[in-house]
Amino acid sequence: MAISKAQKEQILAQLKTYFQKAKSFVIANYQGLTVKEITDFRAKLDEVGAHYQVAKRTLIKKAAADSGYTLKDEQLEGAIGVAFAFTDEIAPIRVSYKFAKEHNKLKPLAGMMGSEELTIEELKKLATLPGRPELLAKLMGSLKSPLTGFVYVLAGPLRGFQSVISQLQQQKASR
């Protein structure tokens, strides 16, 4: 069913807004996925604060161009949709990669982070990075480690002194 010019303009305006607000985005070919699988994919993206928009290639290309992004024709092959990240830059990349591994029919074609174009290999590398909370936990552990070691070093003589005192008490009690 053909869509009217007014509907196309509305979709184009919405896509422009998404491209302008997005911290990153992933273009993926969803050809062959069932409606249920696409709905599941959208739900997983919603959980991480991302949005998946399906539109005609010409509208996506025009909205991207109007927002300062240049998309090549090979990045827009097949039935495509765009996963936009509004909070966490890596989230839609990670969700798309994981979903593509589970459902061989979803194929990430390209991505952008800020003004940086991402290849498929870079998308895979970013997708396998730990999440922000995990990275912060590792950083805190790394920062805490020297302090913890320093506290144990300072407490060492006190532990040794306490050990000597308790041994002396045991010797006196056994006499």
Same-domain check for residues 100 and 162: no
Mean of the per-residue pLDDT values of the chain: 84
Same-domain check for residues 75 and 146: no
For residue 162, the model assigns a pLDDT of 86
Question: What's the domain range around 62?
Answer: 5-129
Same-domain check for residues 78 and 150: no
Q: What is the pLDDT of residues 53-81, one digit of tens each?
A: 888 888 888 888 888 888 877 778 888 88
Same-domain check for residues 84 and 104: yes
Same-domain check for residues 125 and 138: no
pTM, 2 dp: 0.69
Q: Quick check: 123 and 56 in contact, CB under 8 A? A: no
For residue 1, the model assigns a pLDDT of 57
Same-domain check for residues 119 and 43: yes
Helices and strands of the chain, counted as H and E runs? 6, 5
DSSP letter at 73 equals G
What's the whole-number mean pLDDT along residues 90-103?
85
Strand order in 116-118's β-sheet? 50-54, 80-85, 24-29, 107-113, 116-118
45: nearest Cα among 100, 8, 104, 7 = 100
Q: What is the pLDDT of residues 1-56, one digit of tens each?
A: 577 888 888 888 888 888 888 888 888 888 888 889 888 988 988 888 888 888 88
